Structure 1
Amino acid sequence: RFHRRSIFSPHPQQVTLVSHLAVRGLPALTQQLSSWSSFASVCLVVAKEEEKAVIDKWWRSSASALQLVDLHLLLPSASSHPHSECPANILRNIAIGAARSTVVLLLDVDVLPFTDRMVAIDRAAQRLLSDGSDERQVFVLPAFEFAAQAATMKPLDLRQDFVPSSTPADQHVGAHTREKLRLLSLLDRGLVRQHRVLHSPRAHGACDYERWIAATRPYAVHYAAGFEPFLLCRQDIPRFDW
């Protein structure tokens, strides 16, 4: 059900972040929103009635949530087992359907959108807007996680390569290209790796990361069993099975 709506309304051409979680994931949502400067549509599953007060307190105490986040709650039915897991795609579908912009970015709550001034996302979003709903295409986003040896480094040390450069040598390079070069530097140093590659390599394997490293333009990705991509897509895409 609808719970809270942001003070401001998104422009139809803005990108809305779509995420879903249980109440225990609110700290992760706070961190995710700190890396996102646009609107968000979020669905939470509420296991107990008292959790609604926790959600309200979080929403009212966050200026960015008040201004930019729409919250939707999925409440258990009377027949639900108190410890049963709600399929994630139900939550995802609710958040997608409630998004108030044409283009949405679908991410798990523990994934940070890490982009240099939104350049790459904005360009892809404009293509989705101009192509229209008949094309039925989506953009699959590569995702990375910090490797074990990065755990001892300060967050600033890991992010400093992504600070926009102002050196003369970089003036002819697009912002999204600078971002990728800095990410490749982290890969070369063994500080990041493909998201979930150790525990679930098929989840993002179809992205073909070796090809992505060398790519200078988007390329087609084909579905494979176990594929769980993060997507930039139109809000009117077919809903997820569950």
Structure 2
Amino acid sequence: MAALESARSAARRSPSADLEGRASYPRRSPSAHLLRDLGGSFVVPMERPPVGKGKGAGPRQRSRHVALSALFMLCCTLAAFLFRYHTALGGGLMGSKQQAVGGAAGAAAAAVFLSGDSGAGVSTLAGMSAAELSQLLTPGSSGRGPFDLAKYPGFCRKMRPPNVPVLTVQRMWLSNRQRNATDVSLVTQLSVDRLYMLEAQCGSWGSIISASVHVPLVQGRIVSELPELAGKDAATPLELISDFHERMEKRGRCKLDLVYVTEEVGTIEQVGLYPVNALRNKALQLSQTEIVLLLDADFLPNRALSDMIHDQRMYDQLRRVTGYRQGIVLPAFETIDDGEEGKSTALKAIKSRDVLHELFKRGELRGFHMDHYNRGHRATDHSRWFETNISYRIPYEEGFEPYVLVQRRFVPWYDERFKGYRKNKVVHLMHMFRLGLEFASTPHGYVVHSPHPVANSWNTTQATGFWYKLKKLYADSREDMAASTFVPATSFNCDSREPERWSFYLRRLRWSLSA
């Protein structure tokens, strides 16, 4: 009997294994009352780790506990002091607002204090100059620096072309509409000839949209399907995008923030290697809200979702749930028809969940890409989602690439080496999972793909042989993540993540507002 009790005790103490074979411990759960009614069912409750009562502790042990508690409080106080005031690294670690996302140094400092590491780690951080810290982020960095770079979402390693694309910011447009504390930014990217997709999104999303708009150049001339832009210089789209932004300000539901970027490429063929992850980073830099929705431009969120989130009670619940490193998955659907009828079906589907379900049962909709790449959204389990009005856990599997509501501080940079077609979003979601993000459904939100002409990105990726490079890059990234050494490659320094320190973005913003 004693042996049995000993075995049970050991089992309770041992970590469990997740789908990827990693050791994982139960995490603190949001309150179970979130599931009591449909209005609060953003997430399922998770198991709490067992907490001992400390019976039988002697005076010496209690004294040690008191000393450790005092030391912990001292560390927390010191951490708060460092986060409030600027350090020798050149700026605020977390900024003036609670929702601001800390830079690389801030994430490292927080990790040192919260993990209970020795004072040596703190001294190392405080003694490093900005130049010394930036050396940890250069190409060739293994991710094994003194702060274990691979474990923090804010870290990246700066690379030079041709490893990563070079995007030049031409101008920014910010919405003049009133910002709210309950705003959630839809973060997306698109090419300039697909502005009509952004217009549709602006009609369905009643909050902020942070979008980057891409224009490719060959020898300084635009390559575009739009006749009014083809062969012109980089200044030509300014009027087109300005008119579009003004129209959205008057007629759209959204608060649209835009950044227009150009990319100089060597040949016409290279235009098809669309720099999707670099553009996602530009849009992510532009977003300022605590919670973001990571979505592609050809998807429409249901109209009621943003209205529901604007309710303070619902926003507070969403904020609390996502604060536990939960990504709230929005089930993705697509229309069977890929023409004008499909566009009409998509607009019907976003009206309500009941309409969506009816179209799904009639065979006019299906789960996104379930006919040829079911790993992308199979884990969401669309049939189960229709059958329940409460949230449920969604287990991660390799290849899973859902669209999620997530706190911006938990979103790592996209690896900009991934361009063209395939693997760009898969590797990002895998990275988020490796950083500790878990996934759960919500009955309140979903997205529907609006059909459009097929881009030439897939053909170019295949024809140029770049697909084989992507396969190798993906395999290497997967191995690095398994070893906890993966650090995404970008074309910029990582401190650009802080809204208060946007580097060239702030200068462009001032120029944009004064123009």
Q: What residue is the counterpart of 1:129 in the other structure?
A: 319
> Could you say which residue in structure 2 is the equivalent of 1:221?
394
**CA shift digits 1:64-99 (9 cap, x unpaired):** 54472111234325x765624244222222212321
Q: TM-score, normalized by length of structure 1? A: 0.77
Secondary structure of 1:46's partner?
Answer: strand
Whole-Å Cα distance in 2 between the matches of residues 116 and 132 of structure 1?
20
Aligned equivalents of 2:407 and 2:343: distance in 1?
Answer: 36
Residue correspondence of structure 1 range 175-186 to structure 2 within 5 A: 179-186=352-359
- Aligned residue in 1 for 2:379: 206
Structure 1: how far apart are the matches of 2:339 and 2:215?
34
What is the CA-CA distance between 1:110 and the residue it aligns to? 0.5
User: In the alignment, which residue of structure 2 is the partner of 1:59?
Assistant: 242
How far apart in 2 are the matches of 1:120 and 1:26? Answer: 26
1:152, 1:86 → 2: CA distance? 28
Q: Which residue of structure 1 lines up, in the alignment, with residue 117 of structure 2?
A: none
Structure 1 CA distance, aligned partners of 2:180 and 2:411?
22
**Alpha-carbon shift at residue 142 of structure 1 (Å):** 0.5
Alpha-carbon distance in 2 for matches of 1:62, 1:94: 18
Change (3 A) 1:39 1:63: same
Task: Give the structure with the larger helix fraction.
Answer: 2
Tell me the CA shift for residue 208 of structure 1.
1.5
Question: Which letter does structure 2 place at the counterpart of 1:93?
Answer: N
Deviations 1:207-228 (A, max 9, x none): 1212212121111112222222
Q: Residue 106 of structure 1 aligns with which residue?
A: 294
Letter in structure 2 aligned against 1:206: A
Q: Does residue 231 in structure 1 map to residue 404 in structure 2? A: yes
CA contact (8 A) 1:13 1:129 kept: no
Could you tell me how far 1:39 is from its partner in structure 2? 1.5
Q: Give the secondary-structure state (helix, strand or coil) at the position aligned to 1:216.
A: coil
Change (3 A) 1:140 1:64: farther
Distance verdict in 2 for CA 1:128–1:32, change over 3 Å: same
2:335: which partner in 1? 146
Tell whether the 8 Å contact from 2:188 to 2:210 is kept in structure 1 after alignment. yes
* Aligned position for 2:213: 44
Displacement of 1:155 in angstroms is 2.6
CA shift in 2, pair 1:52/1:86, >3 Å? farther
RCO higher in structure (CA 8 A, sep ≥6):
1
Q: 1:144 to 1:55 in 2, by over 3 A?
A: farther
Separation of aligned partners in 1, 2:279 and 2:338:
34
Distance 1:52 1:207, change over 3 A: farther
CA contact (8 A) 1:21 1:44 kept: yes
Q: Which residue of 1 aligns with 2:259?
A: 72
Would you identify which runs of 4 or more consecutive aligned residues in structure 1 move more than 4 Å?
Answer: 79-82, 119-125, 149-154
Asked if structure 1 preserves the Cα contact closer than 8 Å seen for 2:336 and 2:342, the reply is no
* SS in structure 2 of the partner of residue 118 of structure 1: helix
Aligned residue pairs: how many?
A: 224
Residue 90 (structure 1) aligns with: 278
Q: In the alignment, which residue of structure 1 is the partner of 2:365?
A: 192
Tell me the CA shift for residue 181 of structure 1.
2.6
Computing the radius of gyration over CA atoms, which structure comes out larger, 1 or 2?
2
The alpha-carbon deviation at position 230 of structure 1 amounts to 0.7
Residue 180 of structure 2 aligns with an amino acid whose one-letter code is H
Q: CA RMSD in A?
A: 3.1
Partner deviation per Cα, 1:191-236 (whole Å, 9 max, x = no partner)? 1111122232222112121221212111111222222211111122
Q: CA deviation at 1:41?
A: 0.4
The aligned counterpart of 1:172 is none
Separation in structure 2 between the aligned mates of residue 121 and residue 145 of structure 1, nearest angstrom = 24
- Structure 1 unmatched ranges of 5 or more: 163-178
Aligned to 2:107: none
Identity across matched positions, percent? 27
Q: Partners of 1:237 and 1:161 in 2: how far apart?
A: 28
